[in-house]
Structures are given as C-alpha cells and as structure tokens.
Structure 1
Amino acid sequence: MTNLTSCNTTDPFNVTSTEDTSPLKVATTVAMTTCLIAIMLGVGACIQLKELWAHLRRPYGILIGAASQFIVLPLTAFGLGHALQLPPKQAIGMLIMSCCPGGSTSNMFTLWIDGDVPLSLSMTTVNTVLSTGFLPLNLLIYCRSWTDKKAVIPYVSLAQGIALMLIPAVVGIAVRHWKPKVAMYMIKIGSIAGALSVVVIITLTSLLYPYMYNSSWKIYFAVAILPLISFGLGYISAFIARLPHFKCRTIALETGIQNFPFCMTLLTLTFSKSEMGELSLYPLLFGVFIITESVLVTAVYKAGVIIYRRMSKPDGFTSVQQKDETC
C-alpha cells in the first residue's frame, strides 16, 4: 500500500503523507503479510503436482484468462471511463487498476467456490509475469486519452508479489504430496486466514484512507459495476471456449479480481503526492468493493449448492464440482 493515511478536511483530494512506520501502517503490513502466507499455504495444500502440470502442459484456461485480463478488461474500463465522463485522474486510476494482474485473493475465493485451484494459481503466476509487458502496453494505448505521463512499472514489487505467493504455495504442494493429513489442516487454517483477511482489508483500508468515501456517485458506480462486468466477461469467455463450469468460475474470478496494493505502488512511483488523492480513489474503493462483491458471489454460490442438494435425491446427488468435471 501507499503512505497516504490522512486528508485535508477542506479538500478530500488534498492528501498528505505520513510516516511509513506509523503503528497502523505497520499493523496493516504485518497482518496482510501473515494472512497472505497462511492463505497461500492453504491454496498450495489443495494442489497436486499432476494437476498443476496438466494446466501448464495444455494452457487453454490460462490463455483464455490472460486474454480476458489484458485485452477485454482494460478496453471495458476505458469505455466505462469515457461513458461516465470521469475526471482524467479518476479515469486513469480506474484504467491502471484494470490493467493490474490478480493476486492471492482470487486464489482464496476460487477455493471457496469449488473452482479449479491449480488453474487459479497458474493464472495468477502467469498473468503476473505477463503484466510486465501487457501492463505498460495497455497504459500506452489507453492512457493517452487523459495524460502523456508514462507509468513507472514497479518490477521489484512484482517480483516480491510472485515470491510471496509462490513460496508458501510450493510448501503447501509439498506438504500435500508427503503429508496429506497435515495438508487438510493447512487448508482449514488457510480458509480461516482468508476470512480474517476480508475483515482486515476492509477495516484497515477504511482507517488508513477515509477520504475515499468522499467520492462522487460516478466513482461508486464504476467501482460497483466494473468487477461484476469483469466476472461476467471472464465466465462467458470461458463458457464460449466450452470449458467446464468450475473452470469458468475460476476464470471469472481471476478476471475480475485485481491486485490493488500493486496498483497503489504503481501510482506512487509514477505520480506526485499532490496527485495521489484523486488518482487513488478508484483503486482504494475497489479494494473494499471487490472483497464485498466476491463475498456476495460466494454466498450466492453456496446458497445455490445447498438448494441443489436439497432438491436432489440423496442417492442421486453428485457434488457441483464433480458434475462440472464430467461436462
């Protein structure tokens, strides 16, 4: 995240910086890093090497997800920015957010909706690597509508993000291979950490950046609608490619959920502190809304599973994921 923690009471966009070592800042960093490691250990514990290798050997789902992430989503954000006639800085914040790769959040929610966890982890890793090329390309194509400034890509943050995701995941995969019983406990701990991270992200982001709630209705509308559009486009793209439904759900989440701390780092490196207040409105609200909407999508899915089970005969019931795999 950035070092923006307070705002001028007369101008919500005139944001001043505070020390990176402030107690709340340190608490946020420690809490999120701890949750991330626990989540990725649990995600890795769900994965078998043969499943992971199958996706890398035949990367149809990965390619569809990458196309949705780096072609469809930025174009959608660009069109939405012009349709709503957002101020240039707010539109740039939305566009940069849409061009960022996914993170561990999509892996966590994929686990919760019975998606393809190996595919989710593969897509997150591959898309993060691909973003080193596609992110500056998309910004070059679309940002010229609002600014001539070239974005500074935080490659160090990208590398750190990959390491923080992959190292715990690899450990989890190894535990799944050698100690399957221990892996089951890791999955439960990862799920608990994921639930805690939902509360932590929303609470600490609201405390660190309260000025974001002073946004206009246009920003609120864009933040609310773009993730839903992204979920739909990702699902439809995978469905058209005739992938099973549990893989469609996975690609939908991977398309719609972006890494907003990475976006904030990019904005901090590219723009001045005086510009950051307005530029960061969309990414910050996105961090709150994407969690909230993903929780709602998960709740709807779980409710659907319960209804399906009650309507099905006990001897004829097949789990949703098993049914999808036979499609």
Structure 2
Amino acid sequence: MQKIIKKIVDNLALLVVAIGILGAWRPETLTWVGPYVSWMLGVVMFGMGMTLKVEDFKRVLQHPKEVAIGVGAQFIIMPLVALALVKVFALPPELAIGVILVGTCPGGTASNVIAYLAKGDVALSVSMTMTTTLLAPIVTPALTYFLAGAWIDISFTAMMISIAQMVLAPVILGLLVHHFMADTTKKIMPAMPLVSVVCIVLLVGCVVALSASKLATVGLTMAAIVILHNAFGLALGFTAAKLLHMDARKARTVAIEVGMQNSGMAASLAVMYFNPAAALPGAIFSVWHNVSGSLVANFCVRRDNREAQEEPAPAYNN
C-alpha cells in the first residue's frame, strides 16, 4: 500500500494535468467541488501541521537570522514580481488579483520535499514554510490589499479570518495532534500524503471546471505568467540569499522556498472572494511549481556530483 501511495504522490503533476483536462472537457463533473474548496485546503494544512514538531519552533529561535532572510525574501520578492507581471501583461482585474494572490501567499508544503531532493537544508525549509504559514493570516491580506486594493474590492478582515480558519487553525490542530497523540499520528500519517494529493487534485480540477470558458482565451497567457513568476522567484530568492552571505546549500533552499508558493491557498481565496477566473493562476502554479521544483532538484544534485568528481584527490606524503 505504501508503494502505491508513493507512486501516486510522485505523479502529482501528471494527475493535476489529467484532472485539469477533465475539468476543461467536462466541467459538470467537477463543479460540485466548489463549496468544499476551503475544507479541502484545511485538510491539506492539517496534514502539514501533523509533520511539525515543537522542535521546529525552537529551530526558528535558534537560527532567527536565516529564517528571517528567507521569510523576508518570500514576502518581498514574490509579491513584487507578481505586481510587475500584472503591469507588464496589462491584465484585467479579475486575472490580476489571481496573480497577486499567488505572490502574497506563504510557501507551499511541496517545497520541503523539493529541498530534500535538492540536498538543501530541509530544517531551514520547514522553518520557513511554518513561519510564513503562521504569518499568512496577517501578511497575505495586508499585501493583497496594499498591492491590489486600489482597483478591486478586498475585505481585509474577512480574508484574514478565512486564512486563519482554513490555514492557521488546521496547522495548529495538526501540530497538537502530533504532540499529544503520537500513537494516533503514526497510524494516520502514512495515509495523509494520499489524502492531500486527492484534495489538491480535486481543487485544481474544480478551478478549471468553474473557469473553463475563460481558459481557452487566457490559458496560454496565464501559463507564461506563472512560469515567469516561478522562475523569477527561484532566481531572485537564490540571489538574495547569496548577497546576504548564505552558503550554497542554504541559498538553494531559500530559492526553492521562495519560488514554490501555497498556490492551493491562492486558488481557494480567489474562488471564495473573487471569481473562478482569478483562481486560474493558482491552479496552473500548482502544476508548474512541482515540475520546475523537480527540475531544480535534479540540476542541484547533478552539479553537486560533478563538483565532487572534479575535486582533486588529497595528497599524501611518503
């Protein structure tokens, strides 16, 4: 069973593409998911919370500078890149808000897996994801209001409450379950990746189904914007970390964390507060950042192996 679950999780990107095609071809098969979007995101975030330990909070306090650099890069680079892309492509408000939401959301949980595959600093990745997620109820609506409030109606308080309910509360609940019900956690955890994949796949499929009529006209543009957004996040995240004197391992971790957003949260907020078309950037990002993250991880491992082979052999004196 564990091999089957791992196979399904490893093929998340393919499953998301397949469900997206189904949503575009037969929208009626997936529109029913709409009312359950926030609940599904809550389940995913509960699963994330169950992976956290009290020690993760201690790690943040032990290495505040590194975490602060990563969190600062996350909430500065991605929102500003989003705003720049919105301006360059002259997007209408209903699409622009979706791009802004992707930029203002916290790091995604998939970044921790990619950081591990890329031989990055997994502890730093977890600390950054946890910190940006805990800050999201305040920072995400604040940044969204600041960047997009002039041309679209945004309820700061309502969005803050929603993020607290579907992101913060499930994460804390998952953490408490892990801490106080360790035996139960061990039984549940093997199935949680599968549950999370099902929720993410259905969420993306629902977004595509609800905006199928719009997808044909803006799909390619949104795909280009998402690819650029992700690429700039990865590149600028790495650059910022290096400029602030972080080593290569930590710099690649910051790059991955910055470039990989909680796009499911962005899509959920778009469906709840704006319109289905606004959720398209988040849905497309959900597919692409897993693809690009895997490519980055593969590149990092290959480069490490090449550098290891090129290192001169130690000299021995007779």
Q: TM-score, normalising length from structure 1?
A: 0.70
Do the aligned partners of residues 16 and 54 (structure 1) sit closer, same or farther apart at CA in structure 2, a change above 3 Å counting? closer
Q: As a proportion of its length, which structure holds more helix?
A: 2
Q: 1:230 aligns with which of 226, 230, 233?
A: 233
Q: SS at 2:224's partner residue?
A: helix
Bigger Cα displacement from structure 2, 100-109 vs 51-60: 51-60
Residues 116, 247 of structure 1: 8 Å contact kept: yes
- Alpha-carbon distance, 1:19 to partner: 5.2
Residues 107, 261 of structure 2: 8 Å contact kept: yes
Match of 2:276 in 1: 277
- Deviations along 1:205-237, whole A, 9 cap, x unmatched? 665435385334321211111111011111111
* Residues in 1 aligned to 2:131 and 2:281: alpha-carbon distance in whole angstroms: 25
Residues 93, 282 of structure 1: 8 Å contact kept: yes
Kindly report the root-mean-square deviation, in angstroms, between the aligned alpha carbons of the 2 structures. Answer: 4.2
Residues 23, 30 of structure 2: 8 Å contact kept: yes
Do the aligned partners of residues 213 and 295 (structure 1) sit closer, same or farther apart at CA in structure 2, a change above 3 Å counting? farther
Q: Is residue 91 of structure 2 the alignment partner of residue 86 of structure 1? A: yes
Residues 52, 118 of structure 1: 8 Å contact kept: no
* Residues in 2 aligned to 1:287 and 1:269: alpha-carbon distance in whole angstroms: 18
Gap runs ≥5 in structure 2: 1-19
Gap runs ≥5 in structure 1: 176-182, 317-327
Q: 1:113 aligns with which of 113, 118, 128?
A: 118
Do the aligned partners of residues 72 and 315 (structure 1) sit closer, same or farther apart at CA in structure 2, a change above 3 Å counting? same
Q: 1:163 aligns with which of 172, 186, 195?
A: 172
Matches within 5 A, 1:100-179: 100-151=105-156, 152-153=158-159, 154=162, 155-163=164-172, 166=175
Q: Is residue 27 of structure 2 the alignment partner of residue 18 of structure 1? A: no
Q: SS at 2:153's partner residue?
A: coil
Residues 227, 256 of structure 1: 8 Å contact kept: yes
Do the aligned partners of residues 164 and 251 (structure 1) sit closer, same or farther apart at CA in structure 2, a change above 3 Å counting? farther
Residues 40, 104 of structure 1: 8 Å contact kept: no
Q: Which amino acid aligns with 2:271?
A: T
Q: TM-score, normalising length from structure 2?
A: 0.71
* Residues in 1 aligned to 2:109 and 2:219: alpha-carbon distance in whole angstroms: 29
Match of 1:248 in 2: 251
* Residues in 2 aligned to 1:199 and 1:295: alpha-carbon distance in whole angstroms: 17
- Alpha-carbon distance, 1:124 to partner: 1.3
Q: SS at 2:303's partner residue?
A: helix
Matches within 5 A, 1:24-63: 37=47, 49=55, 53-63=58-68
Residues 40, 165 of structure 1: 8 Å contact kept: yes
Do the aligned partners of residues 169 and 285 (structure 1) sit closer, same or farther apart at CA in structure 2, a change above 3 Å counting? farther
* Residues in 1 aligned to 2:233 and 2:64: alpha-carbon distance in whole angstroms: 21
**Number of equivalent positions:** 281
Q: SS at 2:72's partner residue?
A: helix
Do the aligned partners of residues 6 and 296 (structure 1) sit closer, same or farther apart at CA in structure 2, a change above 3 Å counting? closer
Do the aligned partners of residues 150 and 66 (structure 1) sit closer, same or farther apart at CA in structure 2, a change above 3 Å counting? same
* Residues in 1 aligned to 2:89 and 2:74: alpha-carbon distance in whole angstroms: 22
Do the aligned partners of residues 125 and 19 (structure 1) sit closer, same or farther apart at CA in structure 2, a change above 3 Å counting? closer
- Alpha-carbon distance, 1:36 to partner: 8.1
Residues 115, 256 of structure 2: 8 Å contact kept: yes
Bigger Cα displacement from structure 2, 126-135 vs 78-87: 126-135
Do the aligned partners of residues 233 and 314 (structure 1) sit closer, same or farther apart at CA in structure 2, a change above 3 Å counting? same
Q: SS at 2:106's partner residue?
A: coil
- Alpha-carbon distance, 1:266 to partner: 1.7
- Alpha-carbon distance, 1:170 to partner: 5.8
Q: SS at 2:171's partner residue?
A: helix
- Alpha-carbon distance, 1:310 to partner: 3.7
- Deviations along 1:252-300, whole A, 9 cap, x unmatched? 11111111222222223323xxxx2311111111111111111111121
Percentage identity across paired residues of the two chains: 23
Match of 2:299 in 1: 300
Q: Which amino acid aligns with 2:235?
A: G
Do the aligned partners of residues 199 and 294 (structure 1) sit closer, same or farther apart at CA in structure 2, a change above 3 Å counting? farther
Q: Which amino acid aligns with 1:290?
A: H
Q: 1:75 aligns with which of 56, 77, 80?
A: 80
Do the aligned partners of residues 240 and 299 (structure 1) sit closer, same or farther apart at CA in structure 2, a change above 3 Å counting? same
- Alpha-carbon distance, 1:167 to partner: 5.4
